[in-house]
Amino acid sequence: MVEMRDLLVEIGTEELPPKALRRLAQAFADGVGAGLAKAALAHGELHHYATPRRLAVWVQGVPIAQADRIVERRGPALTAAFDDEGRPSKAAQGFARSCGVSVDELEKLETDKGAWLVYRSQQQGMATPALLPDIVRQSLAALPVPKRMRWGALREEFVRPVHWLVLLFGDEVIDCEMYGVRAGRETRGHRHLHAQPIYLSAPQAYAPLLESEGHVLPDFAARKEAVRGQVMETAARLGGRAVIDEALLEEVTALVEWPVAVAGDFEKRFLELPSEPLISTMKGNQRYFHLVDAAGKLLPHFITVANIESRDEAQVRAGNERVIRPRFSDAAFFWDKDRKQSLAARSEALKSVVFQAKLGTVYEKSARSAALAAAIATDLGGDAPLAQRAALVAKCDLLTDMVGEFPELQGVMGRYYALAEGLPAEFAEALDEQYLPRYAGDRLPVTIAGRALAIADKLDTLLGIFAIDQVPSGDKDPFALRRAALGVLRIIIECALPLDLATLLQRGAEHFAAAVPARAVVGKVYDFMMERLRAYYSEAGIPADVFEAVLECRPTRPHDFDMRVRGVSAFRLLPEAESLAAANKRIRNILKQASERGEPVPEAIETSLLSEAAERHLAEAMNDLAADVNALYDAGDYTAALQRLAALRAPVDAFFDSVMVMTEDARLRGNRLALLARLNGLFLRAADFSRLQ
């Protein structure tokens, strides 16, 4: 039985980048696992650990050596290895010499594809300790680190300076050196709570010893839940609920090795300000968790997570309160100062803010968006003048001191300043909603003005950037055009808006100056957006052939496109779907061939020419269904329409079983082509079913 040992690898560093820590830990573990697999070292469970000062991997049950294996070298084919009298050819003799054996010692390999000479030898497996250093080096070298650094006189680079290295295989230290540090069996505890080395007798002792002696919780997931639990418990003691943002929780977890939640307070007078600047300061600048009451209103408390158990927690609390007070005071000052000037009064200053050198100023962009937003609001039955006025001042909050300090609050502060001026609620909401959705899964605009403005602003950006030929390539998308395109599509589809995308793009292009060839790129922008729509449905689990079937019909209203996709997806599950899809392919091919031959297809079907029972039955079945199906199509109920069309399976199958379409009689042939064209048309009102797999 093969002897197995546990493996522990730990690299100790200066503080690692917190936002990348979890990804680095997973990548390191994946790298070690892949390295072991490549070396044919099967193993048991793999655990990874990460704190601000370390990355570690514990692998259970690694064999002490690779298994011996048979190595097979294939030589010349038997037909070329021997002559007619059975004597070895020069090719056979040369192959044998290269293997260090005689021709007689070679074996024969016979397969379905032929027979060859082959040499088989047993290769002894290498000892695992000899393989481990390179596995670890390659795993560390492959970490997803955008920028590495050097320190001291070392030529090696890593994300941070390395201070210690543990490489333990069972109770054996693997003797090697990396990043100027020799591997050992001593880890380090908390920088302040346990600065002394911790001796590791075996890999499995790693996590328990660090926690019990070193005041370090090395397991990232366990430490994250410890932080969450402490924050929630502290908030409950204060009579509130902590708002735990997962990204912030991950970052805080990556900053501490021994988390201790500490509560703090701020003056209630600051609650008179909009809550967003206060929350942004607490989360973004200080990495605090804020608290709300049962109604969701901000409370004058915060929770920070320290990396140490302090003997004087009051001092820690006071220090954090002291830091946050001037930031809140600045926010209060900005709030008071910004409200002394209306948003509209700042509009003129946008003429000096460049949006893009070739596309002009933000003022000009706002004017273009305003014209398009008014047209969209009209299409949606909304207040077009209100949408237009909102679009003209939509970017004015960019010039306020508050947004200058907190850029992430653009739009949010515009809404607050509009409400403070006494402007209509829909007007104010539109200033915030223009940026929605800000990220994948974000909420969508609710007001008509907000939807109009969000769509207009994004389409203007898409048209303008495409017109100056700065389309996204690879990972580069500086103007976030992919997000803008998907945002427009989500708003139209998920809000069920009756808007025609092609028409919107044509309208938007008309508002650009003559020097900007926006009209010439309308088709390119539309195609780009269709690719984003493809990704949208792919993520929703819609099969690619369903999307292609609908796309082939080029519907230009995204909500209508969506209803077609849903209808075809439902149809695809019906037992009749496969047969009808195959029939549609056959019909499309027949009609295509007729067109290529220049053979006309009559518009009307002559009942008197329906000579076969199967074609009469098919014509009657279509006549019975056509009115209802077309009415359902007109109502946008593609699912119901296609379910009705599924009833045509039997007459369609019977038609192709017993009727020859391309008969020599020209009148009969034309009439049958007309019959198929009408059947094809019924399905094409939803999608091209010949594209279904």
**What are 404-435's pLDDT values in tens digits?**
999 999 999 999 999 999 999 999 999 999 99
| CATH class, 344-541 region | mainly alpha
**Confidence band for 109, pLDDT divided at 50, 70 and 90:** confident
**Confidence band for 555, pLDDT divided at 50, 70 and 90:** very high
Res 413: pLDDT: 97
Please give the residue that has the higher pLDDT: either 53 or 117: 53
- Whether 15 and 160 have beta carbons less than 8 Å apart is answered as yes
In the chain, where the domains are located: 4-66+127-212, 69-123, 220-338, 344-541, 566-691
Could you give the C-alpha distances from 465 to 479, 484, 544, in angstroms and in order? Answer: 8, 12, 29
Res 226: pLDDT: 97
* Structure token pair of residue 19: 């936002």
> Is the confidence at residue 208, as pLDDT, over 80?
yes
Res 476: pLDDT: 87
Rounded average pLDDT over 233-256: 96
- Whether 454 and 499 have beta carbons less than 8 Å apart is answered as no
Span 478-495, pLDDT tens digits: 999 999 999 999 999 999
Span 624-679, pLDDT tens digits: 998 999 999 999 999 999 999 899 899 888 988 888 888 888 888 888 888 888 98
Span 368-386, pLDDT tens digits: 999 999 999 999 999 999 9
> Is the confidence at residue 114, as pLDDT, over 90?
no
Span 173-186, pLDDT tens digits: 999 999 999 999 99
Please state whether beta strands 107-111 and 114-123 pair in parallel, antiparallel, or not at all (unpaired). antiparallel
Residue 190 Ramachandran class (φ > 0 left, ψ -120 to 50 alpha, else beta): beta
CATH level 2 (architecture), domain 566-691: Orthogonal Bundle (1.10)
- Whether 424 and 448 have beta carbons less than 8 Å apart is answered as no
> Is the confidence at residue 1, as pLDDT, over 70?
no
Residue 424, burial from CB neighbour count under 10 angstroms (0-12, 13-18, 19+)? middle
> Is the confidence at residue 60, as pLDDT, over 70?
yes
Rounded average pLDDT over 96-106: 87
Span 64-92, pLDDT tens digits: 998 887 778 888 888 888 887 788 888 88
Res 530: pLDDT: 97
Q: Which of 25-29, 583-587, 623-627, 673-677 has the highest mean pLDDT?
A: 25-29
Nearest 5°: the CA angle 509, 550, 621 is 135
Alpha carbons 371 and 411: distance in angstroms, whole number? 19
> Is the confidence at residue 284, as pLDDT, over 80?
yes
DSSP, res 256? -
Residue 456, burial from CB neighbour count under 10 angstroms (0-12, 13-18, 19+)? buried
| CATH class, 4-66+127-212 region | alpha beta
- Whether 672 and 533 have beta carbons less than 8 Å apart is answered as no
**Same CATH topology for 4-66+127-212 and 566-691?**
no
> Is the confidence at residue 209, as pLDDT, over 80?
yes
Res 92: pLDDT: 87
Contacts of 143 by beta carbon, 8 Å cutoff, 6+ apart: 24, 27, 28, 31, 159
